[in-house]
A and B are shown apart, each in its own frame.
Chain A
Amino acid sequence: MTTSARADALDRLIHERLRLGIVSALAVNDSLSFSDLKKLMKTTDGNLSVHARKLEEAEYITCTKSFEGRMPKTEYRLTASGRRALERYLDHMEALIRATRER
């Protein structure tokens, strides 16, 4: 896979609404728990798990599992490459808007 092709694939990874939401929410928080993200995204456990896993596999976010008393707790954090991907995505969107206005 060429670098540009990989960049395109990565962009598509956060282009999906729920994944874009997860990354955006984590960009303004040190960390968010699974239940915080679920509430924020108004989604189901299964849906959030699937999309968070995809972001985790791309190393855009990290996932830490621990116990709070007897309750399992899953916490997510945005990685440096995740933050860069969001910034690239924002640049891409802004460039699209600029290009349309200049036309």
Chain B
Amino acid sequence: MASVTPLHRVPPTEPPALHARAMDNLRFIRDTMEAAGAFTAVSGWGMVAVGVIATVAATIASAQHSVLRSIYVWMAAAVLAPCVMLWAIVRKARRAHVPLLSGPGRKFVLSFSPPMFVGALLTVVLYRAGLVGAIPGMWLLLYGTAVVAGGAFSVRIVPVMGICFMLAGTLAIFTPTSWNDWIMAIGFGGLHIAFGVSIAVRHGG
């Protein structure tokens, strides 16, 4: 039987250098930590606190005699709530020994911010146009959009929460403005508390 000669001789490959493997291992550890960090990027207890603030705001807003005054109450809550949330996220990140703006954290901020910025701009536009009744629905819709976009890099429960906010926003747009405070209470209050508890229990605080 004739011997078989390979067309191309494959040169024996040298095993990768020790330092290259060490670099690769360190890269793997960092990548894994960053990917796993998605589990800690959002603070569940921070969300519960935001939900409580929103519930209090809804109670105060519903006691106001004009839509404009209740919008002011919600605006005050919209300033306080992100501060509380940021504090909770920083606290959680420190406890887990992860940098705040590591891979997933940075992606979350970059995806979450644009819809929030648009929401702030549209608030001014609708306010000037005298369409204050449309503001709560728009807030819920764009907050939901921001959470869905940011949550694409987090655990599945986060984008699911975003979709719930978008549904609440849709409901607010197509219902009488007198329902706004209740829908806002269910959205910013109820959804934050329910999903916050779930995230806190299942994803380490």
| Residue ranges of A at the interface with B (Cβ–Cβ < 8 Å) | 15, 17, 20-21, 24-33, 36, 40, 86, 90, 93-94, 96-97, 99-101
Q: In the complex, which of the residues B22, B25, B28, B36 has the most CB atoms of chain A within 10 Å of its own CB atom?
A: B36
Pick from B26, B96, B202, B205: contact of A28, CB below 8 A.
B96
Q: Say whether chain A's binding surface is mostly helix, strand, loop, or mixed.
A: helix
Distance between B17 CB and nearest chain A CB, rounded to angstroms: 7
6 nearest interchain CB pairs?
Answer: A30-B204, A100-B19, A25-B36, A96-B22, A24-B32, A93-B22
Question: How many B residues touch A, CB cutoff 8 Å?
Answer: 25
Contacts A93-B22, A93-B25 known; A27 to B97 CB distance under 8 Å?
yes
CA distance A2 to B97 in the complex (A): 33
- Contact of B18 with A by CB under 8 A: yes
> What number of residue pairs across chains A and B have CB atoms under 8 A from each other?
70
- Contact of B100 with A by CB under 8 A: no
**A90 proximity list for chain B (CB < 8 A):** 26, 29
CA distance A15 to B22 in the complex (A): 10
The proximity string for B residues 181-205 relative to A, scoring 1 for CB distances below 8 Å and 0 otherwise, is 0000000000000000000001111
Residue pairs across A and B with Cβ atoms less than 8 A apart, 18 shown, are A15-B25, A20-B28, A24-B28, A24-B29, A24-B36, A27-B97, A28-B33, A28-B37, A28-B39, A29-B203, A30-B95, A30-B204, A31-B204, A32-B36, A93-B22, A94-B22, A96-B19, A97-B26
- Contact of B35 with A by CB under 8 A: yes
